[in-house]
Chain A
Amino acid sequence: MADTPVLDVQDLKTHFFTRTGVVKAVDGVSFTLMPGETLGIVGESGSGKSMTALSLMGLVPQPAGRIVGGKILFQGEDLVQKTQSEMQAIRGREICMILQDPMTSLNPVFTVGNQVVETVRQVKEASRFSLKDRAIELLQKVKIASPEDRMSNYPHQMSGGMRQRVVGSIAIAGSPKVLIADEATTSLDATIQYQYLALLKELQADTGMSIIFITHDFGIVAKMCDRVAVMYAGRMAEIADVRDLFNHPAHPYTEALMRSVPNVDEEVEYLYSIEGQPPALDNLPPGCTFAPRCPYVFDRCNEAFPDLIQVGDGHSATCWKLAGK
């Protein structure tokens, strides 16, 4: 079982067709996700992390956005070919997602109980009477104190951390095989964030689900993930085991990202930052998208986008520097 990936994304391309041109938000992303594995996707804002996630959910913003190429094989079935109603049956039950902002993920005009119960009703064939019990059980799972009383609360009566727990309980209601956490803890303060991450780990151990962790925080990656994919300008820069990536970053972008994480023991006058700006996604350079900012750039980099080059066991990166010479 551990040999077949639960999710196999191949050369995924999600483009936006706007008045000013085609924005290539996701442009050839490939990765696999094993059962029970935690994959981190890191990258700066606008690198296509969230669009990759929305593509997996079948929720690319309409009508401008469209998946124009590639495959998303979920347990062998290609999700790109599914209709909206088929995808709706998959959302919640097979793949679910925790959004970035707990303050706004819950509907302000319905009680927490209402929102958990409606999800349970949607994703499980449960009898009418057990819906409420199941909802309370879910709230217990995410460690909400006295869940019976909390059912009648409105979101604005809860703290941010508690709301994000409720969101978590909704996300696991259908026992999904893949859970995508899109910057799920970014807006929480450090202590609450730590608790929430621990909770997710616990739920994962419980259910055996795979988690895709979208973040720009390397600390979270180190703590949570088995493998990491680094994205830059809609493409995969590097993918590796978490230790490998931290110890031997192969792609110049990853290397630069690592250097920009401040170190507590070091005293510096200025924090390191990568020169320049990420390219506009509607006007990408012909070669490597990182070439204009790369310290190692040479002729070939401006000619074609690099292939994914294997540098170790399960470790590959898209950089011509690795092709030898």
Chain B
Amino acid sequence: MQRYILVRLTQGVITLLVLSMAVFVSSHLTGDPALYLLGAEGTQEDYEQLKKNIGLDKPLPVQYLVFLGNVVRGDFGTSPITGQSARDTLMERLPATLELAGAAFLLTLIVGIPLGVLSAVKRDTIFDHIGKFFAVLGIAAPSFWVAIMLILLFGAILGWLPTFGRGGIDHYILPAFVLSWGGMAGIVRLVRSSMLDVLDTEYVKFARVKGLPERMVIYKHALKNAVIPALTFSGLTLAGLLNGSVAIEVVFAWPGIGRLLLQGINQRDFPIIQATVLAAGLFYVVVSLVVDILYAYVNPRIRYE
């Protein structure tokens, strides 16, 4: 088990290293950073001076190592637009995104798993068909469109829910729902199909044979086996919620890192882009690691190998 965790941890670190390279190189691919920073009024002398000041005169690998060293110490540089440290800006925005992603993830699990179980247990009934419709819609409809439609319905027409900004619990309902729908739909379908497989097994039959009540047969014996594939998927979903949050945060004017990233891209604010992308990458790696450990916990056949 310890070896298993160690291997996964090493893989995570390698992933982050590769990501940091990609992020670093990308800032050089879109043009000369010094030229961009200098603006239209700079002279040739200013340009040379600036290059020296920020280390652009050194070879690229050396620049990367300097960049990496700074990142490891938590220094992503200063935003040329706002003059603020990119780390501080990131930290300011991160809680909003984590809260939204967390709420969406909880919603995904709390609604998705029971809905998947019910669809399987009540297979081919009206309940199953409604679940299928809900799932297909969730996968097919683009989230920004769904967001706009819901804002229209619950905000503009019914006036029941706030439609922008961060605030009380009611502010979370719409963005969290829209953000979670795609992943939730995936979970519903996945749990349904793995549940159907599991309900057909001999051990579920034997659980009934030995006189267990149906509730225990389904929620103990069948469910624990059925969530194993859903677990991997839900880890990816959680990580994907961060990416998905870019569109959602823009539509709902949510003050998180998704919107920060978009602003950064629009303004070519490289320290902000780098900080945001690396933070998202770190989150992804950590979530994958946690999922792998949970996976081993739920599935004893992995734990002992």
Contacts and interface: CB of A to CB of B under 8 A. Distances in A.
A135 to B, nearest CB: 13
B210 A88 contact: no
A110 to B, nearest CB: 8
A96 B209 contact: yes
Nearest to B125: A63
Contact of A105 (B202, B214, B300): B202
A84 B213 CA distance: 10
A311 B38 CA distance: 110
B211 A93 contact: yes
Interface string B147-158: 000000000000
Contacts of B202: 99-101, 104-105
Interface string A69-88: 00000000000000011001
Contacts of A109: 224-225, 228, 298-300
B301 A156 contact: yes
Contacts of A96: 209-211
Contacts of B206: 99, 105-106, 167, 170
Contacts, number: 84
A92 B214 contact: no
Give the interface size bracket for B toward A. 20 to 34
B203 interface: yes
A123 B210 CA distance: 8
Interface in B254-305: 298-301, 304
A96 B130 CA distance: 38
A288 to B, nearest CB: 33
B118 to A, nearest CB: 16
Contacts of A323: none
B84 to A, nearest CB: 50
B28 interface: no
Contacts of B301: 108, 154, 156
Nearest to B202: A104
B207 A107 contact: yes
Contact of A92 (B205, B210, B304): B210
Contacts of A107: 203, 207, 221, 224-225
A104 B210 contact: no
Contacts of A57: 208-209
A250 interface: no
Contacts of A106: 203, 206
A123 B211 contact: yes
A237 to B, nearest CB: 27
Nearest to A93: B211
Most buried by B among A96, A107, A174: A107
Contacts of A171: 209-210
Interface in A161-179: 167, 170-171, 173-174
A59 interface: yes
A108 B211 contact: no
B213 A88 contact: yes
B216 interface: yes
A118 B205 contact: no
A157 B304 CA distance: 9
A119 interface: yes
B212 interface: yes
Nearest to B216: A118
B201 interface: yes
Nearest to B212: A122
B300 A118 contact: no
A104 B209 contact: no
Nearest to B201: A104
Chain A CB within 10 Å, residue with most, of B202, B211, B214: B211
B211 A119 contact: yes
A132 interface: no
Contacts of B205: 59, 99
Contacts of A101: 202
A91 interface: yes
A39 interface: no
A105 B203 contact: yes
A253 B206 CA distance: 32
A89 interface: yes
A320 B203 CA distance: 43
Contacts of A88: 211-214
B209 A92 contact: yes
Contacts of A7: none
A122 B216 CA distance: 11
Given A109-B298, A156-B300, A91 B201 contact: no
Contacts of A97: 209
Looking at A93, A154, A173, A174, the one whose CB has the most chain B CB atoms below 10 A away is A154
B211 A92 contact: yes
A96 B201 CA distance: 18
B214 A122 contact: no
A105 B206 CA distance: 6
A167 B221 CA distance: 15
B205 to A, nearest CB: 6
Among B210, B228, B300, the most chain A Cβ lie within 10 Å of the Cβ of B210
18 contacts: A93-B211, A96-B209, A96-B211, A99-B209, A101-B202, A108-B301, A109-B298, A109-B299, A109-B300, A110-B221, A118-B220, A122-B210, A122-B213, A123-B210, A154-B304, A156-B300, A171-B210, A173-B210
Interface of A: 57, 59, 84-85, 88-93, 96-97, 99-101, 104-110, 118-119, 122-123, 154, 156-157, 167, 170-171, 173-174
Given A88-B211, A107-B224, 7 more contacts: A88-B212, A100-B202, A104-B202, A108-B225, A122-B212, A154-B301, A171-B210
Interface of B: 201-203, 205-214, 216, 220-221, 224-225, 228, 298-301, 304
